[in-house]
Structure 1
Amino acid sequence: YGEYDYIDPDAPSTTSLIYRLLCAWDKSAIDEDIAENLYAGLATDTGFFKYSNTTAETFELAKELVELGAKPNWTYVNFAERESINKIRLISKVLETLTLHEDGLVAGITIFDRFFKETGCEYADSEGLVNYPRSLEGVEVAYAIIEKPEEKVWKVSLRSKGKVDVAKIAEELGGGGHKYASGCKIKANSYEEAMDLLLKAIKRGLEREGLIKYAVGQKA
């Protein structure tokens, strides 16, 4: 953090904060390129306006950015419809690891380091893959756990459909974020140990919201 922090946990995207600041300073400085970049951030952070962080403010901001020159179709095509064949192969491998927990309330994928080598993909290609388990009917919490051998950690992305605050789950594991999207890094001696820590934290998150209950004497 810097000397001054501008934080709004209810904002749909960081780009909305940037837009507010630009408008306060000089709205006329927002040219077509700036509008396009702000729109791209807003669209991707809200899952192209389908996530639960999409609000009336989101659409009002999108409207203003389009009026300033942003092109919705160009943004969607260039951000959502440009997958490489290697990325599709990576997705295929990752989906084979898809696992359900807690009677389908939790779903997750594992991305082992070897998957990148086998498909010729980069780590950046794993961005957004957590949305596959998130899309399953009945799932409230989704995770993607990614092997990072060079750091000796497992990187975790968490997503919620709204009933569970995944920021609290991530914070328990040393990370952070916001209610709908958060992340953390887990130091563990094995994949099994990392998964045990992750799933126990997720179960505690479900329990906090009353979505599951443990038997007497049982601990998450």
Structure 2
Amino acid sequence: LEKDAISAVLDVIEGGIRVDSGGEGHWLSSDLIRMEDGSTHTLLNAVWGKHGMDVLENLFDLTGEAAEDAFDKQLSRGKAFGSFLRKVDEQQSGARLLRRFPWDEDELPSPLDFADSLVKKGRADGIGTTTGMARKAKGDSNLAMGWAWLSSHGKGEGEAWHFDPDIRDKGGDWVPSLEVLWAASEAVAESGDTEAYVGAMENLRKASGTMQELPDA
């Protein structure tokens, strides 16, 4: 990623730069890059103030407030560019994945919105990260969906004591539909194909007794 960042800088830089032994950049009128320290970090650090926003946009399609926040943090902290760029890449990969799903956060009626959140979290960060989220849901319907989620992923036995019997009975009826929803989410994550996911969410709506219709996808 550091080499990609340097390539992004070279695409937009006007003139050249000399980077002294202290890491300070001195802009040149000639198309020449001179460095007393040959590290990629030193060069990126020297040009970040002028071209950091260009790097973020060209590498990650990151613009606006999110780009400014990342730019300012790196400018003030000067952490290793390798780890900084990897972190931004991971964050943007997750954001790109979430944008593939047909509904935004809180757009679906409860408890379908919670099921949607669990699916997205599971696809973005792994099933293991959803256990606490499912266990700490607010409201009986969301708790039932949380139980259905844990059960559908083979975690029900170890988590049963966190849920009242009535909640387990209610959520248990939703497990088959939630399993189909999770399976359908694979196509969304991989290619952005939402047709099966929308159909699976409609089936879950009916199974859960949710009266409100699904919003347009």
TM-score between the two structures when normalised by the length of structure 2: 0.28
For the pair shown, the structure with the greater C-alpha radius of gyration is 2
Which structure is higher in RCO with an 8 Å CA cutoff and minimum separation 6? Answer: 2
TM-score after normalising by structure 1: 0.27
**Higher fraction of helix:** 2
Which protein is richer in strand relative to its size?
1
